[in-house]
Amino acid sequence: MASHPLKLAIVGHTNVGKTSLLRTLARDSLVGVVAASPSTTQQVVAGRIRTDDGEQVELFDTPGLEDGIGLFDYMSRLQTATNRHDGPALLQAFLSSPEAKGQYAQEAKVIAQLLASDAALYVIDARDPVLPKFQDELAILSKSARPILPVLNFTASTAHNAEAWHQALARVNLHAWVEFDSVTPQLDGEITIYQRLQTLLPAWRDHLHRFIHGLASTQSRRYHNACQLIAELMIDCAALRERITPQAEDALKQHINSLQQHVRQREQSCVHGLLKLYNFTPESVKIDAIAIQNGRWELDLFSPQSLRQFGIKASGGAATGAAAGAGIDVLLLGSSMGAGTLIGAAAGGLWQSWRNMGKRLQQKWRGYRELTVDDAVLKLLLSRQLQLLQVLTQRAHAATQPDAVDSERLYSRLQQQEQLWELIQRARSHPEWSAMLAPSFVDSEARQHLHTKLSEQLTKVQIPSK
C-alpha cells in the first residue's frame, strides 16, 4: 500500500453539495465556498482529516460536472483500438486534447483529480430525478479504474428520490452506496462512509479500520476537553467573591456592574474555547434563532429572558432585590427584573435588610459585604455552555440554519444531577480558587481535584439530542 494518506476525490454534478460534504467530513466551516448558485467551486479544494492516532485521509473537492452528455459524446470520438477497453488511457487522451483546456476545462479538472486519487465519493442530490446527464457522468467516471462510492445527499428532505437512485446505481453495477445528508447527518453516517470504503478498497482496509477507531477516539477526547473548559468556567464563577466595605448606593452599583462584566467576559472566553475546540467560527453557529455574535450570547446572562428560556427561577432574594437571609454572607447577583432594575432594588433591599439584621449580625459582618454570583445565574451559565456543546457535537459544518434545541428539557436534565451541583457549590467557600481574582488566585491541589471530579461528572451528563 502507498505511504501517502488515503486520497478521496469528491465529484459530482454542479450544485449537489460537494463542498458541504467536504466541510462536514473535514469539520471545517471555512473550507471551500457554499452557495445556491451553480459552479461555485472553480478549482480543486483540499481538506485533510487527522485523528489523534495519526491516521489521515485527504479530501479533494472538485468543480461540478456540467455537461456530462456532451463530454460522453466527445470522448466516444477519442476511442481507438488501444484505449477502447482501457478507461484510464481514454481519460488521459481526453486530458491531452484541446477540449480539455477549452469547452470541457472544468470537467478536465475533475478527471485529473480523480486519476490522482485512490477513490471517489460521487455526490448525488437525492432530490433530483435520475437523468441521462447523471448516467453519462457515472459512465465517464467509471473509466478511471478507481472505486466510486455514491453518496446520496439531502436525504433528510421528504422530497428525495433515494429509492429511484438505488435502482439506477445498480443498473450501472454500483451496489455499494451510502445515504449521508451533509447538512443534517445521521450520528453514525460519517463512520458508515468509511466502512463502505473498506469493502471497495481492500488494500486500505487496515488503514480505514484504524482511521475509524481514531475518529471515535478523537471525538471522545474533544468532548472531554470541552467538559474541562466548562468545569473551569464554573469553578471560576462559583468561587468568585468580592468583599466591599459599606458604601453609597452609586459605589455599590459600580461593584455589581463590575462583577457582572467579569462573569460575562469569562463566559465569552469559554464560548471562544468551545468554538475553537470544535473548529467553528462564531458566525457559523446559531442556536434556535438566538445567535452567538462575536463569541458572545445575544441574550445577556443577567437578563430575565435568559432565565425564562431555560425555565430557571431566580431565588426569592434575587427576585425581590432583598439582601440574603441571616447567616448567609452574600448579595445575590442574579435577577428576574433585568440588570437596570437589579441595581436599585438590590441596593435598596440591602440597606433595608441590613437595618433589620440586628446588631449581632452586623458585628459578625464587621462592616463588610460580599458579592457573589447567584445560584440561578450559575445554573443558567452551565445550561448555556452545555446547550452550546450539544449544538457543536451534533451540528454539521455545512449547516447554515439555526439549530432547534429544547432549553427547558436540558435544564430539567441538569436539575437531576445533584452530585454535579454539589461539586459546583464546593467552590463557593474558596474565593482563592477563582482565576478571575488574580493575583490572589491559588491553583491548589484541592482545586485541581475538584476540577477533575467536575469534568468527569460533566462527561456523564446525557445531553438530549435534537
pLDDT in tens, 123-163: 999 999 999 999 999 999 999 999 999 999 999 888 899 99
Per-residue pLDDT, averaged over 412-435, amounts to 88
| pLDDT at res. 360 | 35
Per-residue pLDDT, averaged over 204-212, amounts to 95
Q: Strand 148-153 vs strand 178-179: parallel, antiparallel, or unpaired?
A: parallel
Question: Which range scores top for mean pLDDT: 43-47, 208-212, 313-317, 459-463?
Answer: 208-212
Per-residue pLDDT, averaged over 81-101, amounts to 95
Q: What share of the chain in percent tops pLDDT 70?
A: 81
DSSP-assigned beta bridge partners for residue 119? 8
Under the banding of pLDDT at 50, 70 and 90, the label for residue 294 is low
Q: Indicate the domain borders of the chain.
A: 6-200, 222-459
DSSP-assigned beta bridge partners for residue 400? none
| pLDDT at res. 3 | 66
Q: Cell 425564562 sits at which residue? A: 308
| pLDDT at res. 367 | 57
4, burial (CB in 10 Å: exposed 0-12, middle 13-18, buried 19+): exposed
Per-residue pLDDT, averaged over 237-241, amounts to 92
Note the Cα 137 to chain centre separation in Å. Answer: 34
Confidence check: pLDDT of 50 > 80: yes
Say if residues 120 and 146 touch (Cβ distance below 8 Å).
yes
CATH number of this structure's domain 6-200, picked from the four choices 1.10.1660.10, 3.40.30.10, 3.40.50.300, 2.40.10.120: 3.40.50.300
**When comparing pLDDT for 77 and 394, which is higher?**
77
pLDDT, averaged across the chain: 82
DSSP-assigned beta bridge partners for residue 290? 287
Lowest mean pLDDT among 74-78, 106-110, 267-271, 340-344: 340-344
| pLDDT at res. 332 | 37
Q: Cell 475518529 sits at which residue? A: 215
Lowest mean pLDDT among 16-25, 170-179, 370-379: 370-379
Confidence check: pLDDT of 320 > 50: no
Per-residue pLDDT, averaged over 102-129, amounts to 96
Per-residue pLDDT, averaged over 254-280, amounts to 90
Under the banding of pLDDT at 50, 70 and 90, the label for residue 353 is very low
Per-residue pLDDT, averaged over 435-457, amounts to 92
**When comparing pLDDT for 315 and 128, which is higher?**
128
Confidence check: pLDDT of 173 > 70: yes
Confidence check: pLDDT of 80 > 50: yes
Query: What is the dihedral angle through the alpha carbons of 98, 104, 105, 107, rounded to the nearest 10 degrees?
Result: -130
Under the banding of pLDDT at 50, 70 and 90, the label for residue 347 is very low
Q: What share of the chain in percent tops pLDDT 90?
A: 52
Per-residue pLDDT, averaged over 184-199, amounts to 91
